[in-house]
């Protein structure tokens, strides 16, 4: 849906509800699109899913003493 910024002021609550439901809400000025209202929920859900996936992939680093045999006396890889 497209709506003029001047009209949107009076209907902001309704426009936000529409955006939350996934409807495209485009604000116009003199007939030209200038802004869009979008729901943040899908982005948040995607970010949380990506974090959960990363947690499953990530492994704890070995303890320094367990990796000591991998390096020489100067701290370089053996």
Q: How many CB atoms lie within 10 A of CB 23?
A: 13
> d(Cα 26, Cα 28) in Å, to the nearest integer?
6
User: Which has more pLDDT, 50 or 67?
Assistant: 50
In the chain, the domains with their CATH numbers are: 2-59 (3.40.1620.10)
- Over pLDDT 90: what percentage of the chain? 44
> d(Cα 2, Cα 32) in Å, to the nearest integer?
10
Query: Of the ranges 6-20, 29-43, 54-68, which one carries the lowest mean pLDDT score?
Result: 54-68
**Per-residue model confidence as pLDDT tens digits over 37-51:** 988 877 778 888 888
pTM of the model: 0.53
**Per-residue model confidence as pLDDT tens digits over 11-29:** 999 999 999 888 999 999 9
């Amino acid at each position: 849906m497209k709506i003029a910024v001047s009209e949107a002021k009076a209907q902001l609550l309704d426009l936000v509800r529409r955006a939350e439901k996934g409807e495209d809400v485009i604000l116009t000025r003199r007939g030209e699109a200038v802004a869009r209202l979008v729901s943040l929920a899908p982005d948040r859900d995607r970010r949380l899913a990506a974090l959960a996936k990363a947690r499953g992939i990530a492994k704890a680093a070995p303890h320094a003493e367990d990796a000591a045999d991998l390096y020489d006396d100067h701290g370089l890889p053996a």
